[in-house]
Amino acid sequence: MAFRITHEQSAAAAHAVLTFAEATSQVSGTGCHISSRSPGLREVGVRYRLIEQGRFPMKTEDRLYFDPFREVVKAVNSTLDLQKVLNLLVFDVTKTMDLKACIIRLLDPKTRTLESMASHGLSEKFLDKGPVDADKSISDAMEGETVSIYNAPEDPRVQYPKEVAEEGIASILSVPMRIKGRVIGVMRLLTSEPREFSEDEINFAEALAEIGAIGIENARMYERIKKDYEKARETSTALWDTIIHAR
């Protein structure tokens, strides 16, 4: 049976994240500044170590709701398989926050379109509806603003209102995914019933979106380093061959 919790319980999960951030920011000797709205990967690691060491008491129910967050962090720490991390993220967000679906889209700078990288709970028909324009589809999110839309089928900020209605989507929370202040894409939370997302839920989603963005950056950096290494090795081999033949 799929893990499913209520709307109120998902808010408790978000509260656990915020409480955790406040408590660990007061712990001496960690050497880090913790922001509840923008937790870095290193800071999150400190939080988990404190729990495991028993230095931060957490209620059983809060820890249960915090587990999906920990899953994503561990995945980012343990693998450079970007698709695995993003698939886990959209799955955990959907189940934990009792959503209809979740999708991660990354910006293609050349076309200014948002390309689907991972999704859970959406039909192939909806995913194939057409190109998603970064400047026409809830564009404020690409400026770094988290956007909550209560009545998505009727909202002018939604690029495909007809398709949204046919998919049974009522409300949307569009969360920017940032790396060093630069928005690289969005994580969109979709509900089947109209919902006013609470501040705690928004903070929870923003924290997960940042962890996902860190995972994306890690994977991209690895690919750049790998290409640079291969290029350097080819150059070195060619230079060595030249030296050998010159003798």
pLDDT digits 0-9 by tens, 70-102: 777 777 777 777 888 899 899 989 988 999 999
Rounded to two decimals, the pTM is: 0.70
- Residue-wise pLDDT tens digits, 95-121: 889 999 999 999 999 999 999 999 999
The answer to whether 148 and 171 are in contact (CB under 8 A) is: yes
The answer to whether 116 and 103 are in contact (CB under 8 A) is: yes
Q: In what order do the strands lie in the sheet with 113-120?
A: 113-120, 101-108, 182-191, 171-179, 147-149
Question: What pLDDT, on the 0 to 100 scale, is given for residue 22?
Answer: 45
Handedness of CA 21, 18, 68, 103 (dihedral sign): negative
The answer to whether 111 and 105 are in contact (CB under 8 A) is: no
- Residue-wise pLDDT tens digits, 129-146: 999 999 999 999 999 999
H or E stretch at 166: helix 161-166
